[in-house]
């Protein structure tokens, strides 16, 4: 019994030894030695070889293929009939069958370029992006949930899928397509599609139920997923194998792995609101916004120059009779500086308040700086005012119009900066409304505890609120006081911000008026008193007084608010939540503690055996040395970020190296993607292991053709649509599928492509084809997906939830998106036949298919059904058998007492056609 096992083991060792002999193990060899392996060598730029048969070749591709055939004594098949070609092209480019009308038009087209025109039309179809995006989503291990036991949803992840569809439809150059997925946020931060493209990096699985102790090891696992996926998807290399030790087969040392991981050290997954408007839409919105803004400005200007002077003069004249009416306790603060810690926008209003705009974050801090000439300041009043833009009119920005002020801090110093500001101690406080007298009272807002604070909720919603904070002693400087007021909102359960705060100060220690509007600052009050007394003031002082007076007029306030609202809103935007991978943005939270996942570790270390608890040394960002040429190191691709763009620009350097065809990895990137395109057109790649171009992968069957295609792609701007047409107009692609026992004896696996090898469609085009022939296909593009199996949109719009994959597609070999998938398996199992025979959806589709057939006779019905399902007319035998089947089924339904005998029998026949091999195989 040991003999066969020993022989099998010996054979395995021999295979491994052969691979090692050709490759250079990263553990012991230099990068220079490793470059001798075929995939690390520069492109050869070969010329198409001469062939004995000078008639068959249609493109340079054919000469490479035919030369290999002739070496083996093989000859190719002739060109396939047009009925076969159009069906083949439709499935390859669109993933749905042609209609009978489209088949008839193509077959009847006498022009010599009919086929080329057909391909141009298909490549211009929006269905093309949906078909080819699905191939890439396999490679990108795309899903819309986290995986593991909780498998939380990622509701904004579909934006990455939509980006891929658009990129293919727009024929985005593949080098840019690759770059944006690595560093779109760094390379094109103003383009929402570039931002959405970065969803590629964090599309992998991630455990959300983790403890503090697991954060660092989980982060290293996520970095491993990024490095491994970039390696297999872009370069066809199993870079992840170097995490625990130098790669055993390829020249990738562990140091290279961790330095590549360091390029992702600061990248986190975040859901952000982005403007999805097109450039034309943005220009139109900008123009419309400018018109509204200018109109509001004109209305305000007209009021200020035509009505305000007379109203102000009347106000001054009126108050000459009662000057004491101007007396006020509270002086509103005019803030010269307004800052927020997490991006909330506060817009100044004409009444001295600040109005929050946009979606508030969970936590926020307002820092407000104002100068005031009020002497001996005894207290500060904080008003939380209502506004129609706030939930339930406010005064808070929380979901119910509530707010919770965690802490208020005040600093005061001389306005001239002659001495540093000092903290102001708050002695006591009162408020219009308090949620309770404990942790949510106004006194809790200056107790130094962020978990407590002044809260206004039930009973206080929709009403102006206010609190007075009395100081332990008066503050102020003779030349004016500079106040810095910090309002902290640190309750993480919701956006508990004050939506429209207004602050004022007083010199009156006993002031307890929580509701009267504040008056002017001391300087304004002084100017008003002098005007009322009849003094002639210089224009600047008179303007100060008039500006304050204007801020008390409802019509002026409304005009100012209208203009401020328009300016704050800006041009209309098509905002949408998008999952991105970037830095400096709020991270997606986890279940462990409600904080960002996982905690951020900007310094990556080389780990012993991949263990985060066994650090060897810190590493800096770099790339695979075996793919750096010309004496270059990582500095050749690195550059400082533009001004205002943070301190890190790591992934942009990686993206540039990845696509550099002179000194970086660009030539291998081109080899990998042309091989993927060839694989999906021909059924098998020139390298049959599309995710492994290393020593453990298969060698190319036609290395000269692979290099020629890669060179051609680079020379023509990385345009994939041109590559599709080049492949699909070749004689090797267009040839028939006829089998030949003689040629099969020489090449049983069709390695040298002497025939078109029929192959089964994948799960998505099978389902989409069923919908198409039934007339039920909904062609709506983009947007969120669904888990509902009854959805009638294309299958690419199913939500990919890792723990709840679509059963119909799973039966047809839909893959699990755990790792990058270079090629899908094709199985033949009983549940596939049962799916078409017994599922409710199959019967529904059969009824729809039968409903499309409009014919008087059974024979004509059979002919229509064949043309819809297979793109051809039935043979005589098929027509006779099919007619007999329908009549027999109708008779059985009649015997059963059914009234719909003919439609039911026709639906049975249509269901049988959709269950046939010819329906799901491309020939």
> Is 797 a residue whose pLDDT tops 80?
yes
Which residues, at least 6 apart from 380, have a Cβ–Cβ distance to it below 8 Å?
410, 468, 469, 471, 483, 485, 503, 504, 505
Per-residue pLDDT band at 399 (split at 50, 70, 90): confident
> Is 662 a residue whose pLDDT tops 60?
yes
> Is 317 a residue whose pLDDT tops 80?
yes
Write down the pLDDT at residue 569: 81
Which residues, at least 6 apart from 306, have a Cβ–Cβ distance to it below 8 Å?
none
Write down the pLDDT at residue 323: 59
> Is 159 a residue whose pLDDT tops 60?
yes
> Is 597 a residue whose pLDDT tops 60?
no
Q: Each residue of 214-236: pLDDT tens digit? A: 888 889 999 999 999 999 999 99
Per-residue pLDDT band at 522 (split at 50, 70, 90): low
pLDDT (average), residues 885-913: 93
Q: Each residue of 347-363: pLDDT tens digit? A: 888 778 998 887 777 78
> Is 22 a residue whose pLDDT tops 50?
no
Write down the pLDDT at residue 520: 63
Per-residue pLDDT band at 645 (split at 50, 70, 90): low
Secondary structure, 3-state, 597-611: CCCCCCCCEEEHHHC
Rounded to 5 degrees, φ, ψ at 599 are -60, 145
| 591/316: higher pLDDT | 316
Asked if residues 154 and 145 have their Cβ atoms less than 8 Å apart, the reply is yes
pLDDT (average), residues 67-79: 95
Write down the pLDDT at residue 600: 62
Give the DSSP per-residue string, 841-862: HHHHHHHHHHHH---SSHHHHH
The pTM is what?
A: 0.79
Q: Which of 149-158, 514-523, 764-773, 801-810 has the lowest mean pLDDT?
A: 514-523
What proportion of the chain, given as a percentage, has pLDDT over 70? Answer: 92
Write down the pLDDT at residue 596: 46
In which residue are the tokens 């996520």 written?
Answer: 222
Give the DSSP per-residue string, 287-314: HHHHHHHHHHHHHHHHIIIIIHHHHHHH
Q: Each residue of 100-142: pLDDT tens digit? A: 999 999 999 999 999 999 999 999 999 999 999 999 999 999 9
Write down the pLDDT at residue 4: 39
> Is 17 a residue whose pLDDT tops 70?
no
Rounded to 5 degrees, φ, ψ at 486 are -110, 125
Q: What kind and span of H or E run contains 586?
A: none
Write down the pLDDT at residue 601: 78
Please name every residue paired with 205 in a beta bridge, in sequence order, or none if there are none. none
What proportion of the chain, given as a percentage, has pLDDT over 90? Answer: 66
> Is 25 a residue whose pLDDT tops 60?
no
Write down the pLDDT at residue 519: 63
> Is 27 a residue whose pLDDT tops 50?
no
Write down the pLDDT at residue 659: 97
Q: Each residue of 813-824: pLDDT tens digit? A: 999 999 999 999
> Is 599 a residue whose pLDDT tops 70?
no
Write down the pLDDT at residue 556: 87
Write down the pLDDT at residue 492: 54
Write down the pLDDT at residue 10: 42
Q: Each residue of 836-876: pLDDT tens digit? A: 999 999 999 999 999 999 988 999 999 999 999 999 999 99
Q: Each residue of 235-283: pLDDT tens digit? A: 999 999 999 999 999 999 999 999 999 999 999 999 999 999 888 898 9
> Is 12 a residue whose pLDDT tops 50?
no
Lookup: tokens for 852: 């499309």
Query: Considering the chain, what is the average pLDDT of its residues?
Result: 89
Write down the pLDDT at residue 648: 61
Beta strands 331-332; 501-506: pairing state: antiparallel
Q: What kind and span of H or E run contains 797?
A: none
Cα separation, 868 vs 863, in Å, equals 9
> Is 204 a residue whose pLDDT tops 90?
yes
Q: Which of 168, 90, 169 is nearest to 122 (CA)?
A: 90
């Amino acid at each position: 019994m040991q003999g066969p096992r020993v022989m099998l083991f010996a054979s395995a060792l021999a295979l491994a030894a052969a691979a090692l002999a050709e490759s250079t193990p990263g553990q012991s060899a230099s990068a220079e030695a490793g470059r001798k392996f075929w995939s690390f060598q520069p492109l050869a730029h070969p010329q198409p070889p001469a062939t004995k048969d000078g008639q068959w070749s249609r493109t340079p591709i054919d000469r490479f293929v035919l030369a290999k055939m002739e070496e083996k004594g093989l000859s190719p098949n002739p060109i396939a009939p047009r009925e076969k070609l159009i069906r083949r092209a439709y499935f390859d480019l669109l993933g749905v069958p042609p209609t009978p009308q489209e088949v008839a038009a193509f077959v009847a087209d006498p022009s010599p370029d009919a086929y080329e025109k057909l391909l141009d039309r298909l490549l211009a179809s929006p269905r093309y992006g949906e078909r080819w995006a699905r191939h890439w989503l396999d490679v990108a291990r795309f899903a819309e949930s986290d995986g593991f036991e909780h498998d939380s949803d990622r509701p904004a992840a579909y934006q990455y899928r939509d980006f891929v569809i658009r990129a293919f439809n727009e024929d985005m150059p593949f080098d840019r397509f690759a770059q944006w997925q690595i560093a779109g946020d760094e390379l094109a931060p103003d383009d929402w599609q570039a931002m959405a493209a970065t969803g590629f990096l964090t599309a992998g699985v991630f455990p959300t139920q983790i403890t503090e102790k697991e954060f660092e090891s989980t982060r290293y696992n996520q970095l491993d997923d990024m490095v491994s996926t970039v390696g297999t998807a872009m370069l066809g290399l199993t870079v992840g194998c170097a995490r625990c030790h130098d790669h055993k087969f390829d020249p990738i040392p562990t140091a290279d792995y961790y330095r590549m991981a360091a390029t992702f050290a600061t990248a986190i997954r975040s859901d952000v609101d982005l403007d999805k408007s097109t450039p034309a839409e943005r220009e139109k919105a900008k123009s419309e916004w400018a018109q509204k803004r200018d109109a509001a400005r004109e209305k305000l200007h007209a009021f200020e120059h035509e009505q305000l002077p007379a109203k102000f003069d009347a106000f001054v004249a009126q108050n000459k009779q009662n000057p004491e009416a101007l007396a006020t306790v509270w002086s509103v603060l005019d803030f010269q500086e307004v800052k927020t810690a997490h991006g909330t926008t506060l817009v100044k209003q004409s009444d001295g308040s600040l109005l929050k705009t946009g979606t508030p974050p969970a936590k926020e801090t307002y820092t407000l700086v104002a100068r005031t000439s009020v002497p001996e300041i005894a207290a500060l009043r904080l008003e939380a005012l209502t506004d129609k833009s706030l939930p339930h009119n406010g005064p808070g920005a929380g979901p119910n119009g509530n707010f919770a002020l965690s802490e208020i801090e005040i600093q005061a110093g001389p306005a001239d900066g002659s001495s540093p500001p000092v903290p102001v101690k708050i002695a006591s406080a009162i408020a219009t409304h308090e949620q309770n007298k404990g942790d949510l009272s106004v006194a809790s807002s200056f107790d130094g505890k962020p978990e407590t604070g002044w809260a206004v909720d039930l009973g206080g919603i929709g009403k102006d609120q206010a609190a007075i904070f009395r100081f332990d002693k008066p503050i102020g400087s003779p030349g004016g006081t500079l106040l810095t007021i910090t309002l902290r909102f640190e309750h993480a359960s919701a956006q508990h911000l004050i939506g429209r705060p207004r602050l004022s100060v007083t010199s009156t220690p006993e002031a307890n008026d929580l509701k009267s509007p504040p008056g002017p600052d001391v300087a304004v009050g002084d100017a008003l008193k002098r005007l009322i007394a009849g003094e002639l003031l210089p224009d600047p002082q008179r303007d100060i007084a008039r500006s304050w007076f204007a801020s008390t007029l409802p019509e002026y306030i409304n005009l100012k608010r209208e203009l401020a609202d328009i300016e704050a809103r800006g041009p209309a935007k098509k905002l949408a939540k998008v999952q991105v991978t970037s830095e400096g943005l709020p991270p997606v939270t986890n279940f462990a503690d409600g904080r960002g996942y996982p905690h951020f570790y900007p310094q990556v270390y080389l780990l012993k055996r991949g263990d985060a608890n066994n650090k060897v040394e810190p590493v800096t960002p770099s790339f695979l040395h075996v793919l750096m040429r010309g004496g270059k190191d990582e500095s050749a691709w690195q550059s400082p970020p533009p001004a205002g763009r943070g301190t890190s620009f790591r992934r942009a350097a990686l993206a540039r190296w990845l696509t550099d065809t002179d000194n970086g990895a660009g030539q291998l990137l081109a080899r990998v993607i042309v091989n993927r395109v060839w694989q999906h057109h021909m059924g098998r790649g020139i390298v049959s292991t599309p995710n492994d171009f290393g020593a453990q992968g298969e060698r190319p069957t036609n290395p000269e053709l692979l290099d020629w295609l890669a060179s051609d792609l680079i020379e023509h701007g990385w345009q994939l649509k041109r590559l599709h047409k080049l492949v699909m107009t070749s004689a090797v692609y267009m040839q028939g599928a006829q089998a030949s026992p003689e040629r099969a004896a020489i090449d049983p696996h069709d390695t040298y492509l002497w025939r078109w090898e029929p192959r089964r469609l994948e799960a998505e085009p099978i389902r989409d084809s069923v919908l198409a022939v039934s007339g039920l296909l909904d062609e709506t593009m983009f947007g969120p997906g669904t888990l509902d199996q009854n959805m009638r949109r294309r299958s690419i719009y199913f939500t990919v939830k890792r723990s709840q994959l679509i059963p119909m597609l799973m039966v047809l070999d839909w893959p699990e998106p755990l790792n990058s998938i270079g090629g899908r398996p094709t199985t033949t199992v009983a549940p596939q036949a049962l799916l078409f025979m017994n599922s409710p959806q199959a019967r529904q589709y059969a009824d729809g298919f039968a409903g499309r057939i409009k014919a008087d006779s059974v024979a004509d019905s059979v002919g229509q059904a064949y043309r819809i399902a297979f793109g051809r007319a039935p043979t005589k035998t098929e027509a006779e058998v099919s007619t007999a089947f329908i009549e027999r089924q109708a008779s059985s339904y009649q015997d059963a007492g059914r009234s719909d005998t003919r439609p039911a029998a026709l639906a049975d026949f249509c269901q049988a056609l959709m269950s046939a091999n010819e329906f799901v195989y491309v020939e």
